[in-house]
Amino acid sequence: MNFSRRDFLASTAAVAGASMLPFAPARAATAKYIRYSATSDEGKAMLRSYATAVQRMVNLPPDHPHNWFRNAFVHFMDCPHGNWWFYVWHRGYLGYFEETVRKYSDNPNFAFPYWDWTVLPQIPNEMFDGALTPVSEAFLPHTKDLKTFTAYIKPAMKKYWDTLNAAQRKQLDIRGYSSFDKLWDDVTGCSHGKCDPGNEAFAATDRARYLSRENPKLDDKTAKACSPHTVLTGLLPVDYYNADVTRSFTSSKTASHNVMPGGNTQFSVLEGQPHNLVHNCIGGVGPWDPGPYGNMTNFLSPVDPVFFLHHANMDRLWDVWTRKQQRLGLPILPTDKEELSQLSREPFLFFVRADGSYVLDGRAGDYLSTERFQYEYRHGFGDAESAQVAAANPSAQVKAPVRGTVAKGVGSVQLSAAPSSPVVMAVKVSRPAGTGASRNFDLLINAPAGVTKVAADSPYYGGTIGFFGPAMHGMADDATFTLPLPQAAHTAALAQSPTANAAAPAASATLEVRLVPTNGSPTTTAAVKAVSLQAL
Amino acid sequence: MVLALPHPLRQGEAAILAVTLGPLTRGQTVEVATSDGVPIGAAAPFGPQRGQGAGTVTIPVPAGVWRDGRLALRLHITTHDGRSRPPTADEVKEIRLSIIGPTPQSPP
């Protein structure tokens, strides 16, 4: 069920202060705090305040809820990745922690600066000063090595674990932490005597951050993932969530925010590209393979103070996307009531307030707006650019795909006449296995049965699909390819339809699609497993 | 593999690849480039790996790499020893091309 404008107007007042509505403002009406670029004068002043707070929090005893490492364990125990709660959970995490840093920094106006890696594809220089780097004397007494860290923090964490309520334990169960020992396995990267250094969340001081003052730049691939083109494309989707990840601002919809990324995870552009690659680059993925890595590579990443500048920028891009949507008159959240409810009611039970108390009744809906934390961002990359995209206001509405059927490796799908926009065909193909099996196949559309080879100008030619890399021995695998439907095949199909006549082509036609090896060897034909048409 | 644009990109539109990855070990990065070596993007998992697939990642395609509406792709996977090789079908399971762009809708 979708919200109507009447629903929206009638219910806005009733839910003020509770969950957001899809068209509601997502920003604080009057922001009290400003998140500046880390490269601005104001941002640099904030970094000095931040350094003061980090040092003080590192020095707190390990059983203090504001201890620097304890805060990183909030992320370790509860962070979502690869799902649609990624942005909203991290907004709550940063929001509460910003209030705590404000307290310890002695700066009543403190707000996290953001690191705009599109503009500056290297760690801001100030982040190599004093306690702003985990490779510093400030951290050494606690993170010299795993033995030191374990003796320091593990008893306090076990004590905290024993205080957790049933709802919190249920969340940890979903995450795979049904016991404290299982949780600790991911700190050490070891389980049942087998160790994977790449999964060790702990990072020793001398290896806590790969990038250094002498080598501060993101590598080329990571910089590309932060480039204007990548970021602007990540801002283009018009749906908060869409089952087609290429059209979705957020990643997969999962049953819980604690479902860990796996084979079915679909990463949105901004999460999968700049977010993931910046984490990995700073942690040394590549040069430090196969681990252990620096803090940023695993889920104790908030031990590195740069984490919060990185995630402030991710949060800023969510805000940029939100305002782009509002300029276009588009929803900023799911418009289906059940879907919005599912998003909003998800429990977030591990945040810590600035007064040291725990947020035991939090829900995702509490953090869909910046209102709770009363901040806003000063200009960064994407603001002006996404405004231009919104002003262009192009393109037609996306139409629903037409799904076809398959019998004996041949697909069949209904084509409407004279579409007003181009049509794309998605073909799922089962790759033939075996030595010498073809990798390239031509797609034939309504070709007579005897046709096994066509030229590119044939009316039966629908395009070529190609598998890359060798097939696994003895295994078949499926892949879906997307091809534009050639105008010639389109016209021919309609003209040849049984309902066509001399005066006019048919109103619709059935397309039969099959595959033949491009090299003409008929013994290795691939089978069509699914077919659909999508008008763009 | 060769991909084709369904139509020339209109103002405000972008082409995007959805790359479905199989299980990758930490440190493995899948690099996507044109057949003549122009980098398009890279995909790597984040967080602890438990031997599952690494999910689907989305990578924008720069407008300048299309030739007559077509794009020939070359994929490599980098490994712990620094070497580069084509991915296996188990490591990169699928690549899909989409065109995205802002879609004006009537207010509800």
**Closest residue to B103, CB basis, from A222, A224, A238:** A238
CB contact under 8 A, B52 and A186: no
Q: Are strands A405-407 and A410-416 parallel, antiparallel or unpaired?
A: antiparallel
Cα(A244)–Cα(A359) distance, integer angstroms: 34
Q: Which residue of B has its CA nearest to A185?
A: B48
Q: What is the pLDDT of residue A348?
A: 98
CB-neighbour burial class of residue A420 (10 A; exposed 0-12, middle 13-18, buried 19+): exposed
Dihedral-angle region of residue A286 (phi above 0 means left; psi in -120 to 50 means alpha; beta otherwise): left
Q: What is the pLDDT of residue A445?
A: 87
Type and span of the H or E element at A493: helix A487-496
**Contact residues, chain B, for A244 at CB < 8 Å:** 98
**Per-residue pLDDT tens over the stretch A266-315:** 999 999 999 999 999 999 988 898 889 999 999 999 999 999 999 999 99
* Residue A57: strand, helix, or coil: helix
Percent of chain A with pLDDT over 70: 78
CB contact under 8 A, A264 and B53: yes
On the CB side of A5, CA atoms within 13 Å amount to: 5
pLDDT band at A482 (very low <50, low <70, confident <90, very high): very low
Supply the DSSP symbol for A13. T
Q: What is the pLDDT of residue A528?
A: 87
Q: What is the pLDDT of residue A69?
A: 98
**Closest residue to B27, CB basis, from A198, A276, A467:** A198
**Does the structure show a pLDDT above 80 at A135?**
yes
Cα(B22)–Cα(A265) distance, integer angstroms: 11
CB contact under 8 A, B18 and A266: yes
Q: What is the pLDDT of residue A27?
A: 67
CB contact under 8 A, B12 and A234: no
Q: Tell me if A232 sits within 8 A of A385, measured CB to CB.
A: yes
**Does the structure show a pLDDT above 60 at A140?**
yes
Give the minimum alpha-carbon distance from A320 to chain B in angstroms, rounded to a whole number.
14
CA torsion angle A321 A323 A329 A334 (round to 10): 50
Taking residues A380-404, report their average pLDDT.
Answer: 67
Q: What token pair was written down for B56?
A: 């689907």
ipTM of the complex: 0.77
* Residue A32: strand, helix, or coil: coil
What are the start-end ranges of the H helices in A176-227?
Answer: 180-188, 220-225
Type and span of the H or E element at A232: helix A228-235
Dihedral-angle region of residue A436 (phi above 0 means left; psi in -120 to 50 means alpha; beta otherwise): left
Domains, chain A: 28-390 (1.10.1280.10), 402-535 (2.60.120)
C-alpha B13, offset from chain centre: 17
Q: What is the residue-wise DSSP string for chain B?
A: -EEE-SSPPPTT-EEEEEEEE----TT-EEEEEETTS-EEEEE---S---SS--EEEEEEE-GGG-BTTEEEEEEEEE-TTS-EEPPPTTTEEEEEEEEE--------
Q: What is the pLDDT of residue A289?
A: 85
Tell the residue number behind the tokens 């922690």, with chain if given.
Answer: A97
Q: What is the pLDDT of residue A174?
A: 94
**Does the structure show a pLDDT above 50 at B106?**
no
Q: What is the pLDDT of residue A114?
A: 98
**Closest residue to A328, CB basis, from B56, B100, B102:** B102
Q: Tell me if A218 sits within 8 A of A52, measured CB to CB.
A: no
